[in-house]
Amino acid sequence: MITRSDIRNIAIVAHVDHGKTTLVDSLLDQSGIFHSNQQVQERVMDNNDLEREKGITILSKNTAVNFNDTKINIVDTPGHADFGGEVERILKMVDGILLVVDAFEGPMPQTKFVLTKALELDLKPVVVVNKIDRPEARSEEVVDEILDLFIELGADDDQIEFPVVYASALEGYAQSELDESSDDLTPLFESIVEHIPAPRGEKDAPLQTVVTTIEYNDYVGRMALGKVNRGQISEGEEVAICKNDDSIEYKKVSKLYTYQGLDRAEVEEAEVGDIVAIAGMEDINIGETIADKENPEPLSFINIEEPTVSVNFRATDSPFAGQEGDYVTSRQLKDRLLTELEKNVALKVEEIDADTFKVSGRGELHLAILMETMRREGYEFQVSKPEVIIKEEDGQKLEPIKEAVVDVPKDFMGTVIEELGKRKGEMQSMESLSQTRMRLFFEVPARGLIGFRSQFLTKTKGEGILTHTFSHFGPYQGEFEKTSTGSIVADRAGEVTRYGIFTAQERGDIFVKPGAKAYEGMIVGSNSRDQDLDINICKQKKLDNMRASGSDEAMVLTPVTELSLEDALEYISNDELVEITPENIRLRKEILDKKKRVKANKRD
């Protein structure tokens, strides 16, 4: 058994927007990996277009920095609850975590989630209280709250004695005590080296590396990432792959890499404790073990928590089908979804029939990111309303329950409590954040939060902050009051006109602009009443009589309500679909023909 004192393997974990990725930026910058004249973008680890647009980390990233004689392998993980599957598997290849907590907000739902997973794996935590330069920072109170969370989660005596570093990731400094001063992150580097355990293992024992991530490189193809748990691995070596179905395959290591800064460095061999990327593993999957050819022994893989929300994907059958996408058939859709399963371990895909696939994930955002990614790749498809997954145990109906945290001005407290109460939400506790803001803690059925975000923002005039994470499966809460609106539906195909919008806008919010193409059954707006309304959105103004010059220009149109993909998924009802193409996101009735729709509703 050897101890690799020259290496530390850590994951940076936190609630969304508590500063993980910014902290990694500063660690990279101060480790000297960038040239003095190198231009480096902010949040350099979020290199995915969607991540940069949404300001969140979606995929875990590997990097490495050097501090004195120690190499620190760092994994930046997602902070949003829907990407918890990424966090769970990444924790398998580190020996400790940096738990980053906002100095004002304190521990939040995802803080609890990631800490629970880390404590289960007996990982050593270093707590980083970040954003201590915020005017409203309450760093000492936040440390007490973190201690309470450790105790609540059943941490042992050793885990409760966690070291604390106070930092401003944005300004690039850290300090061991609040009353100290510092102009760099040296105290954080020192705390990592001192408190995170060095990896230990048997260098001369048979190889074992569990695959935690799959990456693709244009030059070497598919690569398996993981930590060498035991033994050594060399470039050109033949290894055994212990498959998830208990079979064994043999592959040759064509290239072997470790990490240095933002780049991979090719090496001839690696040993216990190293985090490596291995090329030559074309059909390897996450959770499988790369092992010694003569003694193939698989490692156990972490159990990924089950999905809570599902959506039906199907090939588009609207009148505009095949006009805007490169991949439009059911076969292409199926192949793409099955490919996603290879790297998205928290996802499940079930074939309902030849044209419909039930895709289950950890939340609406988890599924929406997949849809947006496919859309940008040129896929054209349509999806149903997200539904929570109900299961039965011992004859009892169970549904996913979420822990929701609401930060809201005091003036809106009553409204939020009332609205979540309608959705079977139960308030667990509350605390004062300042003279004007409160934090409310709820347990809410997951189905009660589908479609709630936009209403929540409206009710709180955009000042409320709502976060939630999966808590547990609990008894089904029964039906709850729904404040639904109807849809404004185009009754014919054509081009949307200014006059058509003008005559329709008094009925509700309009989703389409003049000049847009519409088809019968396409949803063009939201009715202020609770029933659907079929209208001619392509109506032309009659030319029977003389008109005053410029009368068309005199028609004042209310600004169009533009729906994002997430907004569209929240809006639609059970008899409606979202049509997704590389160029457009449209809403439609599942049954386009009005007469057939009326007959179907009568049967129901």
Query: Is 131 a known ligand-binding residue?
Result: yes
Whole-angstrom Cα Rg for the chain = 27
Question: Quick one: what percent of the chain has pLDDT higher than 90?
Answer: 27
Q: Which amino acid is at 203?
A: K
| pLDDT attached to residue 42 | 43
Contact by Cβ (8 Å): 84, 15: no
207 with 196, same domain: the answer is no
Q: Would you place residue 453 in the very low, low, confident or very high pLDDT band (cuts 50, 70, 90)?
A: confident
Give the orientation angle of helix 139-152 with respect to helix 109-120, to 10 degrees.
50
Place of tokens 């058939």: 329
pLDDT of residue 439: 87
pLDDT for 63-113, tens place per residue?
A: 888 888 899 888 877 644 444 555 667 788 889 999 999 998 888 877 887
Query: How many structural domains is the chain composed of?
Result: 4
Banded pLDDT at 60 (limits 50, 70, 90): very low
Q: Is 19 annotated as a binding residue?
A: yes
Domain check: are 129 and 236 in the same one? no
pTM over 0.85: no
31 with 156, same domain: the answer is yes
Categorize the per-residue pLDDT at 155 as very low, low, confident or very high, splitting at 50, 70 and 90: confident
Q: What percent of the chain has pLDDT over 70?
A: 88
Same domain, 54 and 130: yes
Does 450 count as an annotated binding residue? Answer: no
What confidence score (pLDDT) does residue 166 get? 94
Structural domain includes residue 400: yes
Which residues have a Cβ under 8 Å from the Cβ of 505 and sit 6 or more positions away?
A: 525, 557, 558
CA-based nearest residue to 385, from 320, 451, 331: 451
**pLDDT value at position 39?**
40
Residues 16 and 155 in one domain: yes
340 in any annotated domain: no
Q: What is the pLDDT of residues 295-341, one digit of tens each?
A: 888 887 666 667 888 999 999 999 999 899 899 999 999 999 988 88
**How does 143-173 read in b/e, with b if 16+ C-beta sit within 10 Å?**
bebbbebbeeeebeeebeebebbbbbbbebb
In this predicted structure, what is the pLDDT of residue 110? Answer: 74
Q: What is the pLDDT of residue 484?
A: 64
Q: Give yes or no for a contact between 502 and 555, defined as CB atoms under 8 angstroms apart.
A: yes
Q: Residue 221 annotated as binding?
A: no
Please indicate, yes or no, whether residues 272 and 243 belong to a single structural domain of this protein: yes
According to the model, what pLDDT value does residue 43 have? 38
The CA distance from 143 to 12, in Å, is: 18
7 with 29, same domain: the answer is yes
Cα 365 from Cα 595, distance rounded (Å): 35
More confident site: 378 or 603: 378
- 35 and 81 both lie in a single domain: yes
Average pLDDT over residues 197-205: 88
Residue 384 placed within a domain: no
**Residue 407 scores a pLDDT above 60:** yes
- Cα–Cα distance, 295 to 289 (Å, whole number): 12
Contacts of 352 (CB under 8 A, 6+ apart): 312, 358
Give the domain-ending residue among 184, 200, 216.
200
8 vs 418: CA distance, rounded Å: 49
String of b and e for 236-254 (b: at least 16 CB within 10 Å)? Answer: ebebbbbbeeeeeeebebe
Q: Are 151 and 122 contacting, i.e. CB atoms less than 8 angstroms apart?
A: no
- Identify whether 227 is part of a domain: yes
pLDDT band at 55 (very low <50, low <70, confident <90, very high): very low
Question: Which positions ≥6 away from 70 have C-beta within 8 Å?
Answer: 5, 6, 7, 8, 193
Residue 18 marked as a ligand binder:
yes
Rounded Cα–Cα distance for residues 156 and 217 (Å): 42
- Between residues 599 and 334, which one has the greater pLDDT? 334
Give the lowest-confidence range in 192-196, 492-496, 507-511, 528-532: 528-532
Check whether 29 is labelled as a binding-site residue. no
Last residue of a domain, one of 291, 320, 351: 291
pLDDT at 541 over 80: no
Full residue range of the structural domain in which residue 464 is found? 391-475
